[in-house]
Amino acid sequence: MKIGELANTAKCTTETIRFYEKAGLLPATGRTAGNYRRYDLTHVERLRFIRNCRALDMTHDEIRALLAMMDAPPEHCGAVNALLDEHIGHVDARIEELLQLKRQLSALQQQCQTKQALDSCGILRGLAAMETEAGRKRHTHLG
């Protein structure tokens, strides 16, 4: 099948396929006599696997590691489980960051008195006065 057919089958765009090829997540494929890329069902399965991993917010490095394990299976799935444990830790850290963000936004919102003039808006004044950490580093794998 051609790239457009693969995109339709996998429910994604041709740009996504090319991106995953360049990222080394999808293997290079053969070409037809007309120089079109030629894909088969293994590409469909791998692309669906990649997209499912991305839907779970896994990084390309995490996906690459899982694909490597699929391509050369270890004796047991302990490494897969360890990777998933690490990813769950990243999710926990992100949840804490989002909860902190919610607390900050709620604190700002409490400064609002809806009938006040815009030039004395508590939210706008709070945003202007708020101290932020320079280049605050996120504690997740997303950076």
Please indicate, yes or no, whether residues 63 and 31 belong to a single structural domain of this protein.
yes
Indicate yes or no: pTM above 0.85: no
Structural domains in the chain (count): 2
Question: What's the pLDDT at 62?
Answer: 97
Burial of 48 per CB tally in 10 Å (0-12, 13-18, 19+): middle
Q: Give domain status of residue 21, yes or no.
A: yes
Q: Is residue 113's pLDDT more than 90?
A: no
7 and 59 assigned to the same domain? yes
Whether 34 contacts 75, CB under 8 Å:
no
Least confident of 73-77, 106-110, 115-119: 115-119
First to last CA, the chain: 37
pLDDT of residue 58: 96
Give me the chain's average pLDDT, please. Answer: 88
Token couple for 46: 């791998």
Q: What is the CATH number of the domain that holds 56?
A: 1.10.1660.10
What is the structure's pLDDT at 129? 85
pLDDT digits (tens, 9 = 90+) for 59-70: 999 999 999 999
What mean pLDDT comes out for the span 107-122? 78
Q: Does 122 score more than 90 pLDDT? A: no
140, part of any domain = no
